[in-house]
Amino acid sequence: MIERSFQGNEIFFIIYVIIFMLLGILRQSERERFQVFVRSFTNANSIEQQIRQERSFLRVGIFVFLISLNITSVFLAQAIHFKGWLLSFSFGALFSLIIVGLLLFTAFRMAIYTGLGWLFEVEDLQLIHTFHWLQSSFIWALVLLPVSILFTYGSADWQEHWLNTGLITGLILFLIRSLRVFSTAASGYRISVIYNIFYLCALEFLPLAVVITVIFRQQLG
C-alpha cells in the first residue's frame, strides 16, 4: 500500500506548483534559447556562442537559477529531515533557511570568481565556469524534481532509495562539471592541475564540509 510522506503538509504542493509555473514561463518565453541551453550539456560547441550573447543568456539564466534554487532547497530540506537532523525547524522554515544559505553562498562564490578572474585576467574562463555551474545545477534540479515528488508522495519504503539517487546524481554531475572546467582551464588558459586542486578544496569541498559540521553540531546539541 502506498503511504504518503509528510501527510497534511500543503507546502510541498505549493512549492511544486511554483516550480512548474517557472518552468512553463521559461519554456514559453525563451523556448529556443532554453532548448539550446539544455542541449549544450552534451554539445559543448554551443557554449561559447551562448556566452557571447550575454543578454540572452542572462534572461535564461535568471529563470534557470530560480528553478534550480527552489528544487535543490526542497530536496535538501527533505534529506535533512529524513536523516533526523534539525527537526526543531518546520519544513517551511528549513526550506527558507536553505534558500537564504544558498543565495549567500552563491553571492560569495560569484564575488570570489569575479575577483580572481579580474586579478589573473581570465574573465572569459570565469564566465565559462559560471555557465557550467549553472547548467549542471539545472540538470541536477531536473533530476531532483521527480525524485522529490516521489519522495513526498510515494511509498515510504523507497524514500532512502530516492534520496541516494538524488545525491549520487549530484556527485556525478559535479565531477563532470569539474572535469570540463579543468580541461578548459588547462588547454585554453594553461592553468596547472595544482591550482585546480586548490580550487576544489577551497571553493567546493570546504564550504560543504562546514555545512555538514554545523548540522552535526546542531544535532548533537
What would the pLDDT profile of 121-146 be if each residue is shown by its tens digit? 767 777 777 888 888 999 999 999 99
Q: Nearest to residue 134, comparing CAs of 180, 168, 166?
A: 180
Centre a 10 Å sphere on the Cβ of residue 133 and count the other Cβ atoms it contains: 17
* Sign of torsion over alpha carbons 185, 191, 192, 193: negative
Mean pLDDT score of the chain, rounded to an integer?
A: 79
Q: For 22-31, 177-186, 210-219, which range has the lowest pLDDT when averaged over its residues?
A: 210-219
Q: What's the maximum distance between 2 C-alpha atoms anywhere in the chain? A: 60
For residues 138 and 64, the answer to whether their CB atoms sit within 8 Å is yes
At CA 155, angle to CA 152 and CA 160, rounded to 5? 75
Predicted TM-score of the model (pTM): 0.82
